[in-house]
Amino acid sequence: MTENLLLQYIKDSKKYPLLSAEQEAELADEVKKGNTEAIEILVTSNLRLVIKMAKKFSSNENQILELIQEGNMGLMKAASKFSKSFKVRFSSYAAWWIKQSFIRYLNSADKVIKLPVRKEALIRQVNKEEENYKIKYGILPSYSQLAEIMKEKVDIIAQIKSFNYTDICSLDDPVDNERSANLYDFIPCNTYNPEEEFIDNEFKEKLNKCLEILNDREKDVLRNRYGLDGTMTSTTFAVLGKKYSISAESIRQTQLRALKKLRADTNKIKAMVSV
């Protein structure tokens, strides 16, 4: 069934003609004027790009259609932002947004869906109560103190604290005050495609500039915790703690400081994501 749907979708996507550079520039002018039809033309003419990229990202046929759906959302976002001032073909610009949609979906499917709802809620609450406690008393609470505050058993708090998932809320949390970007937008993909090289290189350059406000350890912690080095994998607090011969909790505090610095510097964040 999935194979038939995919074949039909591929067939339908070929009905839309590819665009020339001149046509893309004209459509970009119309997009700037708010012409939604121009956005639609850019999207439909590049559906094959999403299919091509989805095939590279998917692990099985069932996943391809889901990735195509997510990739099309990225394609629409790219079409609504495209400008001829970028001096690059639309496919190169759109590839970056399509990748981010794939990565967002894959991270969500691999980490969030498998995480029981109660555990996710407890992780959020523990993080919130720890921050509140530190603001009030200048130190982090013990497990027993957290248990008392949250009216939970100490062993439940210990389990949550030892949970090795990436901080679920932080990947979706906005990095700037205007909620224009989050950390998922910063995760690069390690799948190489020549037509994406322009956008990838510019993205990496802007990412490095954004992280310049951090010290070396903070940079390293964020790169490892969120896969910003291109690995798309998260290194646990415990592993990073061993690397620096400090506690896992100290690494977590380093991560929090780094994120707060990034949130405070909204201009760099906006410059990075407004490719």
Looking at 94, 124, 152, the residue that finishes a domain is 94
For residue 271, pLDDT beyond 70? no
Q: What percent of the chain has pLDDT over 70?
A: 67
Mean pLDDT for 42-63 is 86
Give the pLDDT band (50/70/90) at residue 240. confident
With beta carbons less than 8 A apart as the criterion, state whether 266 and 176 touch: yes
Minimum mean pLDDT range among 18-27, 63-72, 104-113, 202-211:
104-113
For residue 169, pLDDT beyond 60? no
Domain that holds residue 88: 2-94
Q: Residue 166 has what pLDDT?
A: 38
CATH of the domain at 49: 1.20.120.1810
pTM over 0.75, yes/no:
no
Q: Residue 217 has what pLDDT?
A: 93
214 in any annotated domain: yes
Give the pLDDT band (50/70/90) at residue 260. confident
Q: 209 vs 152, which has greater pLDDT?
A: 152
109 in any annotated domain: no
- Mean pLDDT across the chain: 75
241 in any annotated domain: yes
* CA atoms 267, 268, 270, 271: torsion sign: positive
Q: 206 vs 164, which has greater pLDDT?
A: 206
Q: Are residues 81 and 178 in the same domain?
A: no
Task: Encode pLDDT of 185-200 as tens digits.
Answer: 444 444 334 334 444 4
Looking at 47, 68, 94, the residue that finishes a domain is 94
Q: Residue 171 has what pLDDT?
A: 41
Q: Residue 275 has what pLDDT?
A: 42
Number of domains in the chain: 2
CATH of the domain at 238: 1.10.10.10
